[in-house]
Structure 1
Amino acid sequence: MRDPFQGRSDKKFCDDNCRNIYNNRRKNKEDKELQVVLRIIRKNRKILQKWHEVKKGDNFVIPRDALLLDGFDFNYFTGVEKVVSEQERFVYYNVDYAYWVQNEKSVEVRFMKKGRESHAA
């Protein structure tokens, strides 16, 4: 039989060991979920890097289908910005790349040398 709790009446854990086990399990679950997202973002970045090397310029256009064939996931990005200029569009960020969908078939990409620079051309 366990010893009764001692201390405050609102005590959540029986001892430090129980508290540590609980918090470590919770943190590990959160870390695993985060790792899934980071893996997809890294994969997207590698795909953009590959096209950056192929196109040999800091601004380039890629067929949307080619990105999809490479495994690019448009649902994951590190930031998004709504831009209103000649026409309204959303610019998506993946670490040091900005990209936006030009039309149903092509995506324009810009490499940003020092983090988020201006993406307007």
Structure 2
Amino acid sequence: MQKACRLLMATLLLGLLAGCQYFQFPGVHKIAIQQGNIVTQDMIDQLKPGMTRRQVRYVMGNPLIEDTFSPDRWDYFYSMIAPNGDVTKERVSIYFKEDKLSHFSGDFVPSSALGSAAE
């Protein structure tokens, strides 16, 4: 009987320890999990229509997605899960026409557009 009780207690303890990832224990360090391309407002402000693909790649880095079926579109995605569980997601799509930057869309706008909208 005592052996069965110890086995049951060990099983319960292992089950609780396996689920620890969902609980916050004092002193346990959790890290932020970042994935994708970090895109800053400074990077967006450097983008100008007419830039070559090479110039855009220099400013933005390699795109996360280069779709073979849409070669004139590059997609940059970024997500971060904070230690407290908050999720941040950002997206920027860059479009080319005749191998020159034509426009971009997503979660960022150029600072110059923000300044003119405030006036």
- State the TM-score, normalized to the length of structure 2: 0.41
- State the TM-score, normalized to the length of structure 1: 0.40
Higher relative contact order (CA 8 A, sep 6+): 2
